Amino acid sequence: MFARSKDDVTPVEWGSGTSHRLLVDSDNMGFALAHTLVRAGTESKLEYRRHLEACYCIKGSGSVADLEGNIIKLRPGVLYALDQHDRHYLRACEHEDMELISVFTPPIRGDEQHILSDASFSSY
C-alpha cells in the first residue's frame, strides 16, 4: 500500500494544460491515473494509439468530439471513454479551465507530452 498527493508530483505540460501523473507504469498497478488540467479556450486534436483512456470531469466544462460528429458535453460528474483509440477533439470552454481525472490502460510512463498542431492528431 502507498499514498501519493498531487503536491508530490511535478506536473507535466501536455500541450493545452498540465497533468499530474499520480500513478504511472512503474507503480505496477496495471493502469495510470492523472489529474489533468485543460486550459480555458483550448482545443486539442488527440489520439491514443497504444492506450485506452477514460476521463471523469471534476471541474469546469467543455466537450469531446469524435470524427463522426458525436459530441459529449463535459461538466462535473460526466465521464467519457475512448474505447476504440478514437481520434478526438478535446475542448475547454472559453471562460474557465476544465479539470479531469484521466485513467489509462495500459499505463503511461508518465513523461509523455503531446505535440499539438492543426495538421494532425497528437498521439502517444
What span, in angstroms and rounded, lies between the C-alpha atoms of 45 and 119? Answer: 9
Q: Which domains, ranges and CATH numbers included, belong to the chain?
A: 12-110 (2.60.120.10)
What span, in angstroms and rounded, lies between the C-alpha atoms of 23 and 75? Answer: 24
What span, in angstroms and rounded, lies between the C-alpha atoms of 68 and 22? Answer: 32
Give the Cβ contact number of residue 38 at 10 Å: 27
pLDDT in tens, 34-80: 999 999 999 998 988 888 999 999 999 999 999 999 999 999 999 99
Mean pLDDT of the chain: 91
What angle (nearest 5°) sits at the alpha carbon of residue 103, between those of residues 27 and 1?
35
Query: pTM of this prediction?
Result: 0.90
pLDDT in tens, 40-50: 999 998 988 88
